[in-house]
Amino acid sequence: MNDLRDILLNKLLTTPEEEKERMAYIQEVSERERNNATIIAKMEEELDAAVADKEEEMKKKNDVIKKLQTELQQIINFSKENIGRIKNEQDKQESADKKNHEGKVQRLQNEIVQLKTQLQNLVLEHREKEQDLRRMKFKVESQVEGLIQKYDGEMNERQEEYEEIEAAYNAQKKQLDEVEERFKTMSAEYDQIQEERRLAREKREAAEREMALMVKAATTVQAFWRSFKVRKALKARKKKGGGKKGKK
């Protein structure tokens, strides 16, 4: 009742001109509100479009990040598998080469020792036989010289014996020369084995350097990925901080 009374009292106290102005003002305010509502609706549409664009952009960035993560993991897995495979192959090859070389070297060393022993024995035997032959030759010559006139027939027998002994001496000397030649050949094979071991060692060192480069590349990619994640976290934190200030 009080409100109704106040309204009636207001109308009674308001002149027609004032009432007209008041109605015009109310219409103007209503028109402003409609315009503001239109502007607000348009701004809301633009805001929704901007948010949708931002979400689409974030989705694309997330897809790129996921792709980078997948590629990085593939690189890491490939590096691990490749490094492990190279190391296993290198270890197997090195072990096999080592066994083969060690076995071959051991056989050659044994043969060299045997040949040296045979050579020494043959040299000693040759010297002894040479001395024996010289003594025998001197003896035969002395006997032939002393008995040449008296024992012509016996001299012929002695001559044949002398020729047999000389033939045996030449045969043994030839055998000694063959042993020495074989010893030279074995020494050349031993030098070749040493060269093969050096080449195998260089190959292993090259594989180790390649492995170190691959590990370094994987480490660089990981460092780049960590730096990217840190920058992304800092940007997200700054955006959150800006949003809170806007709400206040």
pLDDT tens per residue across all 248 residues of the chain: 455 455 555 555 556 677 777 778 778 878 888 888 888 888 888 888 888 888 888 888 888 888 888 888 888 888 778 777 878 887 888 777 777 777 777 887 888 888 888 878 877 876 777 777 777 767 767 766 666 666 666 666 767 776 887 888 788 888 878 877 887 787 788 788 888 888 888 988 888 888 888 878 878 888 888 888 888 888 777 776 655 555 44
Residue 14 zone, left/alpha/beta (φ > 0; ψ -120 to 50; rest): beta
Instruction: Write down the domain spans for the chain.
Output: 1-47, 99-221
Q: Give the Å distances, CA to CA, from 54 to 62, 65, 163.
A: 12, 16, 115
Report whether 170 contacts 195 (CB < 8 A): no
What is d(CA 231, CA 4) in angstroms, rounded to the nearest whole number? Answer: 66
Which alpha helices (H) appear in the chain, and where do they start and end?
2-13, 16-147, 152-247
- CA neighbor of 225 nearest in space, from 82, 56, 79, 70: 70
The whole-number pLDDT of residue 248 equals: 47
- How far is Cα 172 from Cα 119, in angstroms, rounded to an integer? 12
- Report pTM: 0.27
> Residue 118's pLDDT is what?
83
Helix axes 16-147, 152-247, angle to 10 degrees: 170
- Are 178 and 119 in contact by the 8 Å Cβ rule? The answer is no
